[in-house]
Amino acid sequence: MSGTITHNGSLDASGLRIGIVAARFNDAVVERLVSGALDALARHGASPDDLRVVWVPGAFEVPLALKTLANSGSVDALVALGCVVRGSTPHFDYVAGECASGASAVALDTGIPVAFGVLTTDTWDQAVERAGGKLGNKGAEAAATAVEMARVLKDL
Ligand code: INI
């Protein structure tokens, strides 16, 4: 309709500075998420020099590293990566919940988009399926989301 302004962003990562915060807990899966994210960013035109990967002990620690990077002024977008498997412990709900709400708070408080690529699954196999297995790579998907959000926000 004439007069309507539409903002769609794009998946062009060239020139974008992207920070990845990765939780080392369950690192066999998280390393695959990081590889997927870096590969996706390269395919979308990002320069390796514009990318940073920060490892932290677990998903609970991810939000603070996200916040520190966001406030540093050195990134246009962030990607949170991790793997929380429910198993049989109620610890899951605290770790996964704090990670998700903390990541969201960083984006809203700082204006730097945060894409959430932290797997929260019932089983180890479900996590593997989402880290380059039959259900794709959620790290790659989160990286593409970070690019699109950085682009659309720059346009507003
Ligand atoms: N951290 C994870 O990233 N994934 C998990 O599955 C997990 N579990 O199951 O406990 C986990 N715990 C550690 C947590 O993130 C913190 O590192 C720890 O509590 C110290 O603050």
The pLDDT value recorded for residue 88 is 63
* 91 in contact with ligand 1, CB cutoff 6 A: yes
Q: Which CATH architecture has domain 18-123?
A: 3-Layer(aba) Sandwich (3.40)
Q: How far is the CA of 49 from the centre of ligand 1 (A)?
A: 30
Q: How far out from the chain centre does Cα 112 lie? A: 12
State mean pLDDT over 50-72. 98
**91 among known catalytic residues:** yes
Q: How far is the CA of 120 from the centre of ligand 1 (A)?
A: 12
**Beta strand segments in 26-94, E:** 51-56, 77-85
* 26 in contact with ligand 1, CB cutoff 6 A: yes
The size of the chain, in residues, is 156
* 94-153 pLDDT, tens digit each: 999 999 999 999 999 999 999 999 999 999 999 999 999 999 999 999 999 999 999 999
Q: Tell whether pTM > 0.85.
A: yes
* 31-42 pLDDT, tens digit each: 999 999 999 999
Q: How far is the CA of 60 from the centre of ligand 1 (A)?
A: 6
Can you state the percent helix, strand and coil of the chain, rounding each to 5?
50, 20, 30
Half-sphere exposure of 94 (CA within 13 A, CB side): 4
* 85 in contact with ligand 1, CB cutoff 6 A: yes
Nearest protein Cα to ligand 1, atom 1: 58
Q: Rg of the chain over CA atoms, in angstroms? A: 15
DSSP state of 52: E
